[in-house]
Structure 1
C-alpha cells in the first residue's frame, strides 16, 4: 500500500512538472451540435473574461507574474474562465536580441503565465504578433506598448518585405514552431491569434495582408491541430471596414469570427456613438450574417477618446459599470458565443472594482445552455423605451430587457441617474410559461413572477433578466 501511495504521488508530481495539471478537461472546440457555440468535454463552454493583454508598467518577471496572479484571481473569483494575452509585448518578446534566437528567461516567464492560468482555471488566447512597422512606431499613448519590432531591422527593410518574401514568412513560422513545440498539447491554451488588428499594418499593398492571412491560417493550424487559430482586424468603426470584415470572417481557416468595436465619438460609423448595447449588438449581428456557421465573439470592446487617442475620459465616472454590463450582456443575447471581451482591464475594470459584473453575468445565464436549448436570438422594442434582447430556447426563454432612456450619455455625460421602472407590462409574443422568474443583475436578486402571456415586470433600474420555463 505504501509503495502504491508513493507511486501515485510520483506520477502527480511528474504531470505537474510537465505543465499538465488541470488539463484533464481537454481542449475547447466548436460545438458538434451547434457550430455557433463552443464546447469543452462535450459541454457548452462560454468564454467569460476581459482582455488582459499586457501589464502596462511592469518591467520585471516577478512583478509580471504577481500582476497576472492578481488579475487571474479576481477573474476566477467571479466565475471568469478566459482571457487574451499578447506574446509580442517587450517583456514577453522571446526574440529580444536576434531574429530567430529565443530568450530562455522569457520562455520561462511565458511558462509561468500558463501555469498561473492553469491554477486559476483560465483559458488563454495568445496573440502572436502586433507590430505595425519595423521601426518608428512607438506607443500610441502613455502606458500603451510600442508597435514596432526593431530587432527585425537587422534582416528586413520594411513590412512589405516581411509579407512578400520567404524570409519574412519563415521568421513568423519559426516563432510559431517555437510555441507549438511547447504548448500544442496544452488545453489551457484556447487558441492562437495570428496578428492584432492586422489591417493596421503599414504596407503599400493591403492585398498582401489578406493573402498572407489566408495562407498562414492553414500553416499555423498544422502546428496547433487541437487549438483554435484565428485572425483579427482593427475596430469596426467605418464603412470601409465592412468588406474587410466580410472577407476575413468568411475565410475557411479563420475558425472564430471576431470583431473589435469601441464607443468612439471620432468614428465615422454613427453606430459607434450609440448606446453600448446597440453598438455591440450591431457588430455581432453583422458577423453572424457574414459567418453564420461559426462562433462569433466580440473580442475587443470598450470606450475610447476620439480616434482611439486613449481610454475614455468618463471611465472614472462609471463606478457602477454600466458600460461593462452592457458590453457583457448585449453580445451574448444577440447570439455571440460569449459575452463581450472588454479592453481597459486596468484603467476601467480594476480601478472601478467592477469584477463582480462577470459573476452577475454568469448568474443571469446559470442553467441556460444555448446549445441544448437550440436557442435562437430574438430582438424587439417595446413601447416606453424598453429594448428586449433574448435567446429563445426549446424549453426556456431568457430575455435581457434594457431601459432605453438610460445609457452612457444620460448617466456619464448628463449625470442623470437611471429612473426606477415600475408597473411595466411587456408582451413578448411568446406562449405562457409554466414558470416565470426575474433576475436583477444590479442587486444580484432572483424573484418569482406570475405566469401569464403578458408579463408584469418587477421594479428595476437599467436592466432586468426574465426567465421563462416551459
Structure 2
C-alpha cells in the first residue's frame, strides 16, 4: 500500500469512527452510557430552546415515567429492591428519565427534627442514584410536597403525607403557619439548608437531571397566591446557585380548571423556571371538558396551551394519567387497559404537540408495572429513532381525515404523522369493551406540498415497520388504533 493510500485509509477510518461515536453519543440510551453512567449534564438546547441536550451537544429526549417512591414497603432492603426493579425495567425498555420525591418517607433525610439530616437515608439516595446511573437514567428530584404543617396524613393507602409537623411550633420547628414558612427568614432557611445538604452530595452528579422546587405549588394551603409566586421566583434563583450545572423548575397541579390558566402562565414565564411543566389527568370530576374527554386530546391541549405562550423554553407534560373523580385515587379504567392505550396516547400526543419529550406517566405501579407496559417506551423510541427535533425545528399541526385525527410535525428534513383512529376511545374500548376496529384502505393527505424522498410506516402495536409509496397522499396499510408515518423530504 502506498503512503498516500495509507493516509487516505487512515483518514476514512478516523472519520468513520468519529461518525459512529457521534451517533452513539447522541443516542439517549446507548449501551456504553448505561455501563459507565451519565457523564454529561442535561441543559436547555443551545440550538433550539424548545428541546434539551447534553452539555457535549448531543440530543437528550427525556423518555420515562414518574417513579416517585416505593409503595407499601419501608425496610431498607424492600425499598431498594423495589426501586431497583422499577429502574431496571425502565432502563431495559429504553427509558432514560424518572422523577423521585425526596420528601417521600423512603427518601426524606429531614424526618426527626427540623434542620437535622439523616445520613442513613442519604446513603439510601446515594444507592438510588447509583442504580439510575447504571441504567443510564437521569433523575429529576422533587424537593417538597407538603401543603400544611399538620393534619394532612396520606390521602389513601400507598400515598405519602402532605404535612411536615417537625416544622410546626408544636414539633419544635418554630413555625406557626404555612405563611411563616414562605415569608420568614426561618422558613426560607429551613428550605435552603435542606437543599444545601442535598446539593453537597449531588450538585456535581450528571445523573441528576434537575431539581423541582415543589410538587404542585398551587395546592399549598395559603390564600395569597402572590406569596407562592414570589417565593418560587426567589427560590428558583437560590436553588440554581447551589446546583449551577443542573436544571431547576417548578410544578403546578392538574390543569383542569379555567382558573389554573393564570397560575400556569405566571409560573411558566418566570425566567428562572428553566422548564415549563404541566400536569393533567383524565378526571371525571374536572371542570374543564377537555380533561374529561379523549386522552390524546387532553394531553395535546395541555402542551399546546403552554407552547402558544411562546415561552422560548422546553415544555414537558410531566404528570399525566387517569384518576377517580377529584383525584380520589387511581382510575377504575386502569385494570381494563392491559394494552396501554391511554399510556400510548399521552406518550405521543405530548411529543406531537411540541413538547421536549413524550408524556410522563403517573401511576407507575397501579398501571405501568401492573400490565407490564414498559415496552411502550421502547416503541416510542423506535418511532422517533434518528430524528433530531432541534434541527428539524418541527411545526405541529392537526387535521382530521377519513375518521382519523392526524397529528403532524413538519420539519426541515422530515414530516412525521401520528394517525389516531377517532372511533377508538377509552369510553368504548375500556368503558364498553368494544375492541378496536381493523382499519383498511385509508389514506392521508398532507395539508402542504413537499418533495417526498421516502415514506415509511411504523405500527407501534405490532412493532412493525414498512416502506410505503412516495407522495403527498399516503395510502396507509391496515392497522388498529394508531400508526406513525414518516416522510423524508427532498430539497
For 2:310 and 2:77, the matched residues in 1 are separated by 42
For 1:224 and 1:266, the matched residues in 2 are separated by 39
Q: Does 1:415 align with 2:429?
A: no
For 1:419 and 1:99, the matched residues in 2 are separated by 58
Equivalent of 1:170 in 189, 200, 220: 189
Instruction: Name the residue aligned to 1:425.
Output: 443
2:392 is paired with a residue whose SS is coil
1:316-355 correspondence to structure 2 within 5 Å: 316-355=335-374
**Cα offset for 1:25?**
3.2
1:303-382 correspondence to structure 2 within 5 Å: 303-382=322-401
For 1:389 and 1:453, the matched residues in 2 are separated by 15
Q: Does 1:218 align with 2:232?
A: no
Instruction: Name the residue aligned to 2:13.
Output: none
1:113 is paired with a residue whose SS is helix
| Count of aligned positions | 450
Unaligned runs of 5+ in 2: 1-34
The answer to whether the Cα contact below 8 Å between 1:214 and 1:251 also exists between their aligned partners in 2 is yes
1:139 is paired with a residue whose SS is coil
Instruction: Name the residue aligned to 1:34.
Output: 48
- The one-character-per-residue Cα deviations of 1:124-151 (angstroms, maximum 9, x if unpaired) are 0000000011110011122111111111
Equivalent of 1:441 in 443, 452, 460: 460
Instruction: Name the residue aligned to 1:4.
Output: none
1:140-289 correspondence to structure 2 within 5 Å: 140-153=155-168, 154=172, 155-289=174-308
Q: Does 1:290 align with 2:309?
A: yes
1:1-150 correspondence to structure 2 within 5 Å: 22=36, 25-40=39-54, 41-150=56-165
1:372 is paired with a residue whose SS is helix
Of 66-75 and 150-159, more deviation after overlay is shown by 150-159
1:420 is paired with a residue whose SS is coil
Instruction: Name the residue aligned to 1:3.
Output: none
Of 427-436 and 324-333, more deviation after overlay is shown by 427-436
For 1:264 and 1:163, the matched residues in 2 are separated by 30
For 2:311 and 2:221, the matched residues in 1 are separated by 31
For 1:272 and 1:282, the matched residues in 2 are separated by 9
The answer to whether the Cα contact below 8 Å between 1:257 and 1:291 also exists between their aligned partners in 2 is no
Q: Calculate the TM-score normalised by the size of structure 2.
A: 0.90
RMSD: 1.3
**Cα offset for 1:372?**
2.3
The answer to whether the Cα contact below 8 Å between 1:23 and 1:186 also exists between their aligned partners in 2 is no
Equivalent of 1:387 in 383, 405, 408: 405
**Cα offset for 1:205?**
2.0
2:148 is paired with a residue whose SS is coil
Unaligned runs of 5+ in 1: 1-20
Instruction: Name the residue aligned to 1:18.
Output: none
For 1:360 and 1:287, the matched residues in 2 are separated by 26
The answer to whether the Cα contact below 8 Å between 2:66 and 2:364 also exists between their aligned partners in 1 is yes
The answer to whether the Cα contact below 8 Å between 1:249 and 1:291 also exists between their aligned partners in 2 is no
For 2:230 and 2:412, the matched residues in 1 are separated by 42
Q: Calculate the TM-score normalised by the size of structure 1.
A: 0.94
**Cα offset for 1:290?**
2.5
Q: Does 1:456 align with 2:456?
A: no
- The one-character-per-residue Cα deviations of 1:324-366 (angstroms, maximum 9, x if unpaired) are 0001001001100000000000000000111110010000000
Of 211-220 and 371-380, more deviation after overlay is shown by 371-380
Instruction: Name the residue aligned to 1:403.
Output: 421
For 1:307 and 1:218, the matched residues in 2 are separated by 33
Of 293-302 and 131-140, more deviation after overlay is shown by 131-140
For 2:64 and 2:462, the matched residues in 1 are separated by 21
The answer to whether the Cα contact below 8 Å between 2:282 and 2:292 also exists between their aligned partners in 1 is yes
**Cα offset for 1:38?**
0.2
The answer to whether the Cα contact below 8 Å between 1:331 and 1:340 also exists between their aligned partners in 2 is yes
